[in-house]
Amino acid sequence: MDRPFGLLAELTHACPLHCPYCSNPLDLADPRTELTTREWRRVVAEAAELGVLHLHLSGGEPLRRRDLVEIVHGAHELGLYTNLITSAVGLSPRRAEQLRAAGLDHVQISIQADEPALSDRIAGTPSFARKTAAARLVKELGWPLTLNVVLHRHTIDRVERILGLAEELAADRIELANTQYYGWAWHNRDGLLPSRAQLERAEPVVRAARERLRGRMEVVYVIPDYHNLYPKPCMGGWGRRQLTVEPGGDVLPCPPAHALPLPRAGVREHSLAWIWERSPLFQRFRGTDWMPEPCRSCERREVDFGGCRCQAFLLTGDAARTDPVCHLSPDHGIVAAAVRAADEADHAHDAVLAPRPHPGRSV
């Protein structure tokens, strides 16, 4: 069996931002249910025994955890490569120095836009100045810096200026990731999905920047699934390479799988090894035996593995259906209709976007 090489540790759902494209659950975890420091240390140790090499510390906002330095130190002692995925709100010089001393290897900072007013409006709180200051601090301390920019209808036309900001901040890598429609982003999809015309304008800009910045900055560009001919492989295949541990200890094959009506598996009841190797959750969509037609007889069945199970469920109500993003899917008309609506929208910025709620609130 393939072993996982990456663990996404969602330490908390608490976050100072309220981004309308957040992929966390609509009903956010109560902070009182979060795993303790000791439990997270055990989970990380079990992950290392299982073969995990990369530990991604995320949330919500992982800096909200007072024990973050201790968790990083424990992972470093186990030989794991640690990546902090952060809004950077709360990354003070003192906290950064502590994390550096604990052995943190890499920092990834989210940026909502290239200029303060729009960035702060999307984030739902004044944060742009703190983010750019934190990015400069990261470089001063010698860490590799990745910027993550979630693109959508309101920002994709600004991609050239966003790349300019990344150059100004001396980022080593930038992820220009078009919104994936799960969680709060699913709730706001109609206001976020870009038109084909917007994508056609953005793609040559990204290609030119990738060529110009070659050797200085890695430029990663992910287009929206809805505009693809074929779906993306689900995390390299369901339960093949990655696992996610939620704040309360539930373990998932991918972050948005919390939405699926499947048996739960948690680290408070089982070991990580048992969950990976034997749990019904991780077995459910492994391999190709579960696939319906047209996936079962498709030559791409071990390339995209039937697409995204979470997307199939959100769009059709059945997680075992072919991902409707695929043009061969019998349900592809659902996606085509959404794309047509985005193309026909007259004004890119008229839609009202609902902000991500505070933890503990449900919609």
- Answer whether 356's CB lies under 8 Å from 184's CB: yes
DSSP state of 266: B
Q: Hey, what are 151's tokens? A: 């693109």
- Among the listed residues 265, 273, 219, 235, the one whose alpha carbon sits nearest the alpha carbon of residue 51: 273
Q: Hey, what are 160's tokens? A: 């050239």
Q: Radius of gyration over alpha carbons of the chain, in Å?
A: 20
Quote the CA–CA distance of 101 and 75 in Å, as a whole number: 13
Amino acid identity at 153: R
Dihedral sign for Cα 131, 136, 138, 144, please. positive
The verdict on whether residue 310 carries a ligand-binding annotation is no
The verdict on whether residue 298 carries a ligand-binding annotation is no
The verdict on whether residue 19 carries a ligand-binding annotation is yes
Tell which phi-psi region holds residue 4, choosing left (phi > 0), alpha (psi between -120 and 50) or beta: beta
DSSP code string of 303-320: TTTTS-HHHHHHHHS-TT
- Among the listed residues 28, 100, 25, 15, the one whose alpha carbon sits nearest the alpha carbon of residue 59: 15
Quote the CA–CA distance of 183 and 180 in Å, as a whole number: 9
Sequence-distant (6+) residues with CB within 8 A of 253 are: 234, 235, 238, 239, 242, 243, 244, 281, 282, 285
Tell which phi-psi region holds residue 237, choosing left (phi > 0), alpha (psi between -120 and 50) or beta: left
Sequence-distant (6+) residues with CB within 8 A of 77 are: 103
Residues in the annotated binding site for [4Fe-4S] cluster:
15, 19, 22
Residues in the annotated binding site:
15, 19, 22
